Amino acid sequence: MTPRLMSTKDYSKFRLCQFNRSVTKTDALRDSMRHHGFIPAYPVHCVKEGDAFSVKAGHHRFEVAKELGLAIYYVISDDSATIHELETATTRWSVEDYLSSYIRCGIESYTRLKEYWTETGIPLGMCISILAGESARSSNKLRSFKDGSFTIKGQEHADQIRQIVMRCSELGVTINQNFVAAISRCLRVEEFSIETFLFRAASNATTFKKCRTIEDQMKLLEDIYNYKAHNKIALCFLADQIMRKRSPFHKQKT
């Protein structure tokens, strides 16, 4: 049965879903609705829950209409489409949108992810991979992150990366994706010592430079790690061997 179009100015009837992304960047929508009003062809999509209507799609239109005192056009539908499916079908969600939405839903792993991201300054996509127990540049866990099933399995590795990143930041080292990926790769090598690396990094802080590739970054880290060392470690070779074992076809970027 086709849902019936209805309208009301009783905004208290509606309940916004916590999962949906924050209502931001509404300037253009506000200008349009001031000029055209609430266009009935684009109603708010709701599900009836008791005496209230839970909004599945149209949060931005609802908030702007409420702000402007406009009647809300809405339809009630019992379809099985999730809020995620409805919203992403029209406007692409950013990784930050998913993070904020699941934090509002009270999922602890997403809250811990945000804390790690905020503290370290590591790009969010890399934080997801690191905390999920993957290599820093893997995208294997992005789907589970988006569907709400993200779990933290790589806390020890993540803590080690955080220790190095935070200290190197204090030394003035530029922390970018290649640096984080190379550090993640080095930490897989059994012979790699965090204490030794940080000591050598402090002694050679001016040696750090921006590298175009992970391979160049690895070579630089190896040179710094082995500076004036009696027993040098072939970090690049050992890390590459470990990567090959973790990804037999060598397709996954570390």
Give the SS3 label for residue 74.
strand
First-to-final CA distance of the chain: 51
| Count of all residues that appear for the chain in the document | 254
Residue found under tokens 């300037």: 27
Tell me the per-residue pLDDT of 86-133, one tens digit each, with 9 for 90 and over. Answer: 555 456 778 988 898 888 888 999 999 999 999 999 999 999 999 999
Identify the bridge partners of residue 74 per DSSP, sorted by sequence position: 6, 44
CA pair distance 149, 158, nearest whole angstrom: 19
The DSSP bridge pattern shows strands 44-49 and 6-8 to be unpaired
On whether the 6-88 domain is CATH 3.30.200.20, my answer is no
Q: Average the pLDDT over 166-171 and give the result.
A: 95
Query: Per the confidence metrics, is the pTM higher than 0.75?
Result: no
Burial of 80 from C-beta contacts in 10 A (0-12 / 13-18 / 19+): exposed
- Is pLDDT of 161 > 60? yes
Residue found under tokens 């790699």: 192
With beta carbons less than 8 A apart as the criterion, state whether 21 and 28 touch.
no
Mean model confidence pLDDT for the chain: 86
> Rg of the chain's alpha carbons, rounded to an integer?
25
Q: Average the pLDDT over 182-205 and give the result.
A: 95
Residue 104 has a pLDDT of: 81
Burial of 93 from C-beta contacts in 10 A (0-12 / 13-18 / 19+): middle
- Is pLDDT of 164 > 60? yes
Q: Backbone phi, then psi, for 75, in 5-degree steps?
A: -130, 150
With beta carbons less than 8 A apart as the criterion, state whether 14 and 46 touch.
yes
CA pair distance 158, 209, nearest whole angstrom: 23
**What is the H or E stretch that residue 55 is in?**
strand 52-57
Q: How far is CA 182 from CA 14, 104, 194, in A?
A: 49, 33, 13
Q: Which two tokens stand for residue 114?
A: 């945000």
Quickly count: other Cβ atoms within 10 Å of residue 222's Cβ: 20
Among 13-22, 28-37, 233-242, which is the least confidently predicted range? 13-22
Identify the bridge partners of residue 76 per DSSP, sorted by sequence position: 46
CA angle 3, 5, 7 (to 5 degrees): 140
Q: Which two tokens stand for residue 5?
A: 């179009």
Residue 251 has a pLDDT of: 45
- Is pLDDT of 137 > 60? yes
With beta carbons less than 8 A apart as the criterion, state whether 43 and 73 touch.
yes
- Is pLDDT of 194 > 90? yes
Q: Backbone phi, then psi, for 34, in 5-degree steps?
A: -65, -40
- Is pLDDT of 51 > 90? no
